[in-house]
Amino acid sequence: GAGVSQSPSNKVTEKGKDVELRCDPISGHTALYWYRQSLGQGLEFLIYFQGNSAPDKSGLPSDRFSAERTGGSVSTLTIQRTQQEDSAVYLCASSHPPSGINNEQFFGPGTRLTVL
Amino acid sequence: AQSVTQLDSQVPVFEEAPVELRCNYSSSVSVYLFWYVQYPNQGLQLLLKYLSGSTLVKGINGFEAEFNKSQTSFHLRKPSVHISDTAEYFCAVKPFGNEKLTFGTGTRLTIIP
């Protein structure tokens, strides 16, 4: 079946502009996650959505970052007033409910963001 | 809080030779452990995971890992590598009852023909 999809695959923007990154999780997955992969930094957790519960935003690096998940499916990560240090690959993942025995997060191909 | 250390940022290995990619972690609570692989220009793919039970875990593509609680390690091994194993490998942990994965900085495995 279809995996996690993300769009765009690449985004180049100018410093100070806002960007929106989209994630389509695997159908039926109620949990959705955003991570950031920066050069030399590895992957860092940003935010986690589970069903209708309040999201865990503890990994968002600043108030310029926000995310929403509409209808329990598609998610959008928004970065306002982008800075050069925001340049990274943004990865989305989804999973079965956390209580499921599989306990695996399935990752999308990522969006490479370059801020000039 | 959790942390994951992958000491080797790059590992070159000759084709058909064995390889071990090291992973150590630190956590004040019990964790699940994972190895993910990222092939060039692709997303992350789960190689294997340790949830409970036998400490030797077998994954896809001939990889295996052993959980050592006393040494807080979860090293990844393969007895004979192939060109197709060229990729970046990430070790990760997830605390019980928490959905956040904490990743290491990755090890780039390069296979030399």
pLDDT in tens, B61-71: 999 999 999 99
What is the DSSP code string of A10-65? Answer: EEEE-TT--EEEEEEPPTT--EEEEEEEETTTEEEEEEEEETTSPPB-TT--STTE
Report the candidate in B22, B23, B20 with the shortest Cα–Cα distance to residue B4.
Answer: B23
Mean pLDDT of B73-87: 97
Would an 8 Å CB–CB cutoff place A2 in contact with chain B?
A: no
Whether the per-residue pLDDT at B90 is higher than 80: the answer is yes
Residue A104 is predicted with a pLDDT of 83
CA dihedral A81, A84, A89, A91 (to 10 degrees): -30
Would you call B106 and A42 a contact, using CB atoms and an 8 Å cutoff? yes
Residue B8: partners with Cβ closer than 8 Å, 6 or more residues away: B21, B22, B107
Report the candidate in A102, A103, A95 with the shortest Cα–Cα distance to residue A51.
Answer: A95
Would you call A42 and B49 a contact, using CB atoms and an 8 Å cutoff? no
Residue pair A32/A49 in contact (Cβ under 8 Å)? The answer is yes
Indicate the pLDDT class of residue B19, thresholds 50, 70 and 90: very high
Mean pLDDT of B75-100: 93
Residue pair B72/B24 in contact (Cβ under 8 Å)? The answer is yes
- Among B31, B99, B101, the residue to mutate for chain A (most A Cβ within 10 A): B99
Burial class (CB in 10 A: 0-12, 13-18, 19+), A75: buried
Q: Report chain B residues whose CB lies below 8 A from the CB of A107.
A: 36, 43-45
Would you call B43 and A98 a contact, using CB atoms and an 8 Å cutoff? no
How far is A36 from A110, CA to CA, in rounded Å? Answer: 9
Model pLDDT for residues A47-100, shown as the tens digit of each residue: 999 888 889 999 999 999 999 998 778 999 999 999 999 999 999 999 886 655
Would you call B101 and A35 a contact, using CB atoms and an 8 Å cutoff? yes
- Among B44, B48, B60, B102, the residue to mutate for chain A (most A Cβ within 10 A): B44
Q: Which two tokens stand for residue B36?
A: 């993910």
Would you call A107 and B44 a contact, using CB atoms and an 8 Å cutoff? yes
